Amino acid sequence: MRSETIHTRSQTQQARLAAIYEVSARLGSIFDLTKLFNLVMDATIELTQAERGFVMLLNEQTGKLDVVGARNFDKRTISAQNSTEISTSIVERAITTAEPILTSNAQEDHRFADVQSVVGYQLRSIMCVPLRVRGRVIGAAYVDNRFMSGVFGQDDLDLLVTFANQAAVSIDNARLFNQTDQALSRRVEELTVFQQIDRQLNRSLDLDRVLGLALDWAVNLTQAENGAIGLVGDSAETPDSTPHKSINMLARKGDQADAEHTIQSNHPILDQVLRGGDVARSRHESALADKTVTQLAVPIRNQGETIGLILLDSPLENAFPREDIDFVGRLADRAAVAIKNARLYEALRHAKQQQNDFLAVVTHELRSPMTTIMGYTDLVRSGAAGALNPQQVELLETVMGNVKQMRLLVSDLADINRLEMGHLQLKCSAFEIKNVLRQVKRSLRERIHDKAQRFSLTIDADLPPVFADMERTIQVATNLITNANKYTPEGGMIGVRARRDGQFVAVDVVDNGFGISETDQEKLFSQFFRVESKQVREEKGWGLGLSIVKMLVEAQGGEISFRSELGKGSVFTFKLPIEDNQT
Ligand code: ADP
């Protein structure tokens, strides 16, 4: 009889060990913490056949125990509030001593004689096992039985200890996995955010926009209430006549939108940020609103020098944790680069503006004296001021030729200036391109004839009218055909053809002249570029024509392109839009 009992007990024990083995294998594959806690809880109840059970974990931040699983015997989840019914002193003892506790009759156990829950809830059988992993206790598994004593024996405790060890390892792994996973996804999220920030910041060369963008990101991602970005400005005299740098607040959000525009850098926080280049986080009375705020000031540094700062504030006491500070710091680094680019661009734009203003004055001032020179020279050459010998006539003609060249240059420069400043007024209308091309052909006939070049003009049938500025189209065609004439040797061939190309009328100017090398082709539309060759340099020119042609064609909604081969010739094609209603 006795041996039979023993046999049965060991069989039961074996079956329970097998169950532990089976559950433990499943535990290892679950990384979802809620699922894992539920499984640990269910398995604890099943293995011990307890009436109730709780799984608790130590919260490292609060130092308290969090109930992560709670069950009745029928596996119903019971409220975590019921945890007040468990003997916290038993759990605490198990956790502090790191030893399992078993009591088969708690009511009579002197260890728990005064424990309220044991007495109050008539707890009789209790087991509590610490969850231990990597030498630390991370929590406890607790089961109890209210009405029956002697339900749990040493075997049950051994089983629960074995299971608790497995469960603790699985919980620890899952928590680590989640931490790493969270850290990784935070990192990935941050990288994605920075990718967007970089894209937006690099796209803009406008300083205000750069600052506005950086501030939006800083405020939104740290959930600040207010924010401002300021840049270090010029020195300002303070009452004690010490020169201080000031911060010009250039971008603001929230209440800060109405904040003062300039803050003197001897302001305590700014001083720390500007002088030390450190991040400052403090809690103090807001200068703007009647409340206490947490304020974060992060320097924007460029090559070791603090060029500005990002200021954020929030009413929350725990606002701007470490990650936020790191984030704003990295954002400030990026903003520094974008600010530098925007400032360089601004300086360049300013220089260009000055150059344009200068050119506008010069070209205007040169025009009238040149007209006077031309007028008087022509008068003298015509003999109006007395008879001239042939040598004098020739000299005066050279003067006139040079003044004409200069007038061309002045007019080209004035055009470029107007185009660059957006001051060129186009007078667009619908007209036939063939009329323009015939007119240009007539005006260039003499110079083409002088070089004994063959010239052909082909106009395709049924060409729709173009919608463009006629005078400017004449200028474009004249320029390209003049180039063909200049850069094609004597006896060469020039062909002009107008044809339909989709929504455009295209004009090809073809020559079998010098052609342009591939390297030179890249610089062809740059101002003052001329090919370095004797043949080219024998022709008069300033290297401005093509860049004007390009700007003029594009300003009219057209396109320009070319193909060229050195020693063989070139084709320049400009396209102008056809009149809207002609499709
Ligand atoms: P410019 O004719 O006053 O030099 P452009 O801007 O019209 O100025 O042309 C720039 C340069 O491009 C010319 O100096 C010449 O070297 C080259 N070029 C332009 N058109 C042709 C062409 N049809 N064939 C060969 N080279 C050309």
Q: Residue 95's closest CA among 69, 54, 65?
A: 65
What is the distance in A from the centroid of ligand 1 to the CA of 483? Answer: 6
| Measured distance CA(33)–CA(68) in Å, rounded | 9
Q: Dihedral sign, CA of 226, 232, 238, 240? A: positive
Cβ atoms of residues 39 and 57 within 8 Å? no
| Measured distance CA(441)–CA(343) in Å, rounded | 49
- The per-residue pLDDT for 64 is 82
What is the distance in A from the centroid of ligand 1 to the CA of 423? Answer: 26
139 residue type, one letter: G
- State in Å, rounded, how far the first CA of the chain is from the last one: 108
Complete DSSP assignment for 273-291:
HHHH---EEEEEE-SSSSS
Cβ atoms of residues 437 and 470 within 8 Å? no
| Measured distance CA(14)–CA(9) in Å, rounded | 9
541 lines ligand 1 (CB under 6 A): yes
511 lines ligand 1 (CB under 6 A): yes
- The per-residue pLDDT for 153 is 86
Run of H or E including 69: strand 65-72
Three-class SS of residue 333? helix
Sheet strand arrangement including 125-133: 65-72, 52-58, 136-145, 125-133, 101-103
What is the distance in A from the centroid of ligand 1 to the CA of 566? Answer: 13
Cβ atoms of residues 498 and 480 within 8 Å? no
- The per-residue pLDDT for 83 is 47
- The per-residue pLDDT for 423 is 87
Give the Å distances, CA to CA, from 222 to 298, 333, 513: 13, 17, 66
Q: Which of 404, 478, 546 gets mutated to test ligand 1 (max ligand atoms within 8 A of its CB)?
A: 546
514 lines ligand 1 (CB under 6 A): yes
- The per-residue pLDDT for 3 is 45
| Measured distance CA(577)–CA(463) in Å, rounded | 12
485 lines ligand 1 (CB under 6 A): no
What is the distance in A from the centroid of ligand 1 to the CA of 84? Answer: 93
Three-class SS of residue 97? helix
- The per-residue pLDDT for 245 is 67
Cβ atoms of residues 273 and 279 within 8 Å? yes
Instruction: Name the burial class of residue 345, with classes exposed (0-12), middle (13-18) and buried (19+) by CB atoms within 10 angstroms of its CB.
Output: middle
- The per-residue pLDDT for 168 is 92
What is the distance in A from the centroid of ligand 1 to the CA of 507? Answer: 18
475 lines ligand 1 (CB under 6 A): no
45 lines ligand 1 (CB under 6 A): no
Cβ neighbour number for residue 214 with a 10 Å cutoff: 27
Three-class SS of residue 505? strand
- Ligand 1 closest atom vs CA 511: 23
- The per-residue pLDDT for 267 is 66
Convert the pLDDT of each residue in 240-292 to its tens digit. Answer: 545 456 777 777 777 655 555 666 666 667 777 877 778 888 887 766 566 78
What is the residue whose two structure tokens read 């106009």?
459
Cβ atoms of residues 127 and 101 within 8 Å? yes
Residues of the chain under the 50 pLDDT cut:
1-5, 82-84, 237-238, 241, 243, 582-583
Q: Can you read off the two tokens belonging to residue 518?
A: 């591939």
Q: By alpha-carbon position, which residue is closest to atom 14 of ligand 1?
A: 530
Give the Å distances, CA to CA, from 366 to 112, 274, 334: 109, 51, 48
What is the distance in A from the centroid of ligand 1 to the CA of 523? Answer: 11
Rounded (5°) CA angle 237-242-245: 60
| Measured distance CA(91)–CA(20) in Å, rounded | 23
Q: By alpha-carbon position, which residue is closest to atom 19 of ligand 1?
A: 483
Convert the pLDDT of each residue in 7-45 to its tens digit. Answer: 566 677 778 888 888 888 888 888 899 999 999 999 999
Run of H or E including 268: helix 268-276
Q: Can you read off the two tokens belonging to residue 140?
A: 């406890």
| Measured distance CA(338)–CA(206) in Å, rounded | 9
Give the Å distances, CA to CA, from 529 to 70, 369, 407, 520, 564: 84, 28, 19, 9, 16
544 lines ligand 1 (CB under 6 A): yes
| Measured distance CA(159)–CA(441) in Å, rounded | 107
Q: By alpha-carbon position, which residue is closest to atom 11 of ligand 1?
A: 530
569 lines ligand 1 (CB under 6 A): no
